[in-house]
Amino acid sequence: MPHPTSPATSSPAAAAAPDDPAALPALCDQLIHGRQHIGPRHLGEPAPDAHALDAILAAAAAAPDHGRLQPWRFIVLGERARPTLAQVFVDALLERDPQAGTEQQDDAREKAGRSPVLILAIADLHDDEADVPVFEQLLSLGCAVQNLLLAARARGYDSGLSSGRALRSRVLRRTFALGEHEHAVCFISLGTARRRKPMRVRPEVDRFVTHYDGPADGSSTP
C-alpha cells in the first residue's frame, strides 16, 4: 500500500464511493486479504496522528460483544511512556532471569521504541458470567483487534502484533495497573512499512471449512 499523504484521500476506503454498494465487496476483500503483519522494527513514519488514531480505535467498539461486557481495553503508549516501557521490559527480563547480562538488558530496552504508535491490548475476563464464557470474551477482543487493524489499513497504515513473556510479568501488571481479572494479551504497532516480506500464502477454504448436511444415513435424528 502506498504511503499516505492524507488518510482521507490515499486509503483504499477513499477510493470507493460511499454511495456505491457494488464497490463494497471488492473493498472489503482488499482490506482483509491485503493486510500483512509488519514487525515493529520495520514500522516507521508516517503514522496515525491523534485524530486518525481515535478513528482507528473507535472501530474496536464495533466488535461483537455478547452481554455488552466490553471485556477488553487498550492503552496507547505515547512517546513519553516509552522510557517507562523500556524499564518494564528490562525489569521483566530480570524477573525471570536475574543473571541477564548488559547486552540482553539493552536488547530488552530497545524493543520499547521500535514503532511510532504502540498500543497494549488488555483482556478483562469475567469468569463469573455463566451466559458469556471466557472464550467468547476472548473472541470479542480478537474481533476488536482485527477491526482496529483493518481500520488502520483503510487509512493507509501498516500494522503488526507482538507478544512475549514480558506481558505476563508482575512488573508490567503493576506498572499499567491491571486488575485482578485483566491480562495483557499483545502489543499492536502502527506505522508505515519500511520493509515488507512477500505476502504469505493463505490456506484454501477447503482446508478449514467442512459442510454438514445432516446424518449420513438421512435420518432426522442423531
CB distance 122 to 182 below 8 Å = yes
Binding region for FMN: 66, 161-163
CA–CA separation, 114 and 117 (whole Å): 9
Cell, residue 169: 510479568
Buried residues in 26-54 as b, exposed as e (16+ CB within 10 A): eeeebbeeebbebbbbbbbeebbeeebbe
CA–CA separation, 85 and 94 (whole Å): 14
Q: What is the number of residues in the chain?
A: 222
Binding region: 66, 161-163
| Cis upstream peptide for 116 (omega within 30°) | no
